[in-house]
């Protein structure tokens, strides 16, 4: 038998806590103001508590690519838009634009241009264009929280018991991938061209970034519903372990 506890008392899912934090930001003006003050004290990013757009699991590059046109009713117009985006990416990472015609991994069997998130990693390695593996990671990444406020953008990777995602064999580093996402968003998305970005961690004991303990001081408000307050209170148990 498992212990006789409510699920609130055993839940360890960091994505749930990120969703709960987003809910708190959107629900309470006081919490938004306290969060904006905390961010301003730590980073060179100015947010407006009256105009926070909060997104979870934000796959912005993937979604903007999809918005270029219907992938099923594929038209010359959609193809031209996709090719324009790919040419901009190739130029940014220092790869000749002729690569699109030289390597098959850019295209499907019926000559549609793949989203970078769908490129074949093995084929990229065989081509020697290894910088494109990082582009693939960027298109597949989903930063936990994306906050947009005017020309300021805060990208947050939430952690609870795990550290920053990385893979020594492949060279993958989560925050480095977020930096590339920032670069590509500024390059490719007019809305973000002149935006100021900051990428950070939300963790128990971050060397730099935001700690869950700091979040607790922000969300300690009677304005939140009882369920959210109980769930946030459970963060204390993680600090008792460390």
Q: Chunked in runs of 10, what are the mean pLDDT values of the chain (242 residues)?
A: 94 95 95 94 90 96 96 93 98 96 94 96 95 95 95 94 61 79 96 94 91 92 86 91 64
CB 144 within 8 A of CB 17: no
Identify the pLDDT of residue 104: 95
Query: Could you give the CA distance from residue 136 to residue 129 in angstroms, rounded to a whole number?
Result: 12
Within this chain, do residues 74 and 40 fall inside the same structural domain, yes or no?
no
The Cα 178–Cα 144 span in angstroms is 11
Verify that 231 and 179 share a domain, yes or no: yes
Claim to verify: residue 42 and residue 153 sit in the same structural domain: yes
Q: Is residue 1 part of a domain?
A: no
Q: Which domain holds residue 74?
A: 62-140
Q: How far apart are CA 210 and CA 206, in angstroms?
A: 7
> Looking at 119, 140, 161, which one is the last position of a domain?
140
pLDDT of residue 164: 59
* Residue 158 and residue 51 in one domain: yes
Whether 187 and 99 share a structural domain = no
Residue 196 φ/ψ, nearest 5 degrees: -100, 120
Tell me how crowded residue 167 is: count the other CB atoms within 10 A of its CB: 9
Phi first, then psi: give them for residue 42, nearest 5 degrees.
-105, -40
Domain boundary (82, 108, 140) is at 140
What's the pLDDT score for residue 69? Answer: 94
Residues 60, 181: contact at Cβ < 8 Å? yes
What is the reported pTM?
Answer: 0.91
Distance CA 70, CA 209 (A): 39
The pLDDT of residue 220 = 77
Q: Which residues are CB-neighbours of 235 under 8 A, at least 6 positions away?
A: 17, 212, 213, 215, 216
Q: Is residue 111 part of a domain?
A: yes
55 and 120 housed in the same domain: no
pLDDT at site 240: 85
Domain final residue pick, 140, 173, 195 = 140
Confirm if 18 and 241 have CB atoms less than 8 A apart.
no
Query: Do residues 162 and 237 both lie within one domain?
Result: yes
């Amino acid at each position: 038998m498992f212990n006789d506890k409510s699920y609130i008392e055993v839940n360890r899912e960091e994505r749930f806590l990120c969703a709960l934090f987003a809910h708190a930001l959107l629900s309470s003006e006081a919490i938004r103001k306290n969060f904006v003050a905390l961010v301003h004290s730590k980073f060179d990013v100015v947010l407006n508590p009256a105009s926070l757009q909060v997104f979870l699991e934000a796959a912005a590059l993937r979604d903007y690519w999809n918005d270029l046109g219907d992938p099923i009713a594929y038209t010359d117009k959609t193809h031209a838009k996709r090719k324009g985006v790919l040419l901009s990416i190739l130029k940014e990472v220092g790869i000749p634009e002729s690569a699109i015609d030289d390597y098959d991994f850019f295209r499907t069997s019926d000559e549609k241009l793949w989203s970078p998130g769908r490129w074949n990693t093995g084929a990229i390695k065989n081509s020697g264009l290894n910088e494109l593996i990082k582009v693939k990671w960027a298109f597949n990444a989903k930063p936990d929280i994306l906050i947009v406020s005017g020309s300021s953008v805060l990208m947050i990777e939430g952690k609870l018991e795990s550290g920053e995602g990385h893979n020594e064999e492949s060279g993958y580093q989560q925050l480095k991938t977020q930096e590339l996402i920032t670069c590509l968003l500024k390059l490719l998305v007019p809305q973000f061209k002149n935006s100021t970005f900051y990428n950070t961690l939300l963790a128990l004991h971050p060397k730099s970034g935001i700690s869950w303990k700091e979040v607790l001081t922000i969300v300690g408000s009677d304005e939140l519903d009882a369920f959210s307050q109980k769930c946030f209170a459970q963060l204390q148990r993680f600090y008792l372990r460390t």
